[in-house]
Structure 1
Amino acid sequence: MTRTLLEQVAALRLGPDPTDQQLAEAGRLMLAWLASPDALPADVLSLPKAAGQQELLYPLHVTPDEPALYLVSDGPGVASPPHEHSTWAVIVGVSGNERNVLYQRDLASGALLPLRTVDIKAHDMIHLRADAIHATVAVDDLPTFHLHLYGKPLNELPPFASRCYPAEIAP
């Protein structure tokens, strides 16, 4: 069933620098796919959710030169510092609540300025361009399960630490 979603996303011809409208359409496709009863098979939905300070990453479709799909689970309170992906991303909530703080970089000072906060719960979606900067935290007392679609597989991106910015996370 994942193949159907990926074929629909491929038909959008997103490329390395898609528009916000194209990314929003990919998100709509993901939400529609997720609403179908057999979208995520029982063996995927039964994968362990993160506990404590764990972050779990389950590759669902990872192939060179194609968008990559992952199921991600963060334990309650797990946070990531402000970072960019160096590729576009579409994130759709399956369960739990991931708070995203989006930032803008002040060109004069280099400081990060918080722009807005977006909570991603079940059936919510956010899309990020390759140069978007965001921080995340798993809020509430439940672990998250979210689908992450990236323009490139994570193993093709620069190391995470090199894509991070010093700033406090504003939950």
Structure 2
Amino acid sequence: MKIGIGSDHNAFELKETIKHFLADTEHEVVDYGCYSEDAVDYPDVAFEVSEAISEGKVERGILICGTGIGVCIAANKYPGIRAALAHDVYSAERAQLSNNAQILTLGSQIIGPEAAKKVVDAYLSVAWAEGSKRKVDKIVEKEQEFVSQNFRSAVAGSNCSVN
């Protein structure tokens, strides 16, 4: 599986640990930054990984910041993306099995490297078998409704017509 990984500067060290861990597996890893401990805004990296998933460049993503919350919120703003914060094996598995989350988020100040490896492995070891499909479909439908409304509003404001 092709995995996109990214972090802010607070999580650079854990990102590198997870990247090397994944390189020792059958997964191909694409690093979207950051590339040092120099300050980086986590939304920028979260949007890059989200875009890569949306465009089919990678199959899943792993995002890491200090708590995992910021990258999770940012990734979930990207249309079509479902990101899930998990710091335990069960939640990581359920993120994929129940919710078809394309992105797992972690907090470098919350979880240690060895536990993070177990969580990442659990997330990547399962595939969505359309568990909770009805619920996920409701989320996707609502998102499409909002995206469509915003598009119509933008077009209406630009004096263009929509057929």
Same fold (TM > 0.5):
no
Rg bigger for which structure? 2
Q: Give 1 or 2: higher strand fraction.
A: 1
Higher RCO (Cα < 8 Å, 6 or more apart): 1
Q: TM-score, normalised by structure 2?
A: 0.28
Q: TM-score, normalised by structure 1?
A: 0.28
Q: Give 1 or 2: higher helix fraction.
A: 2
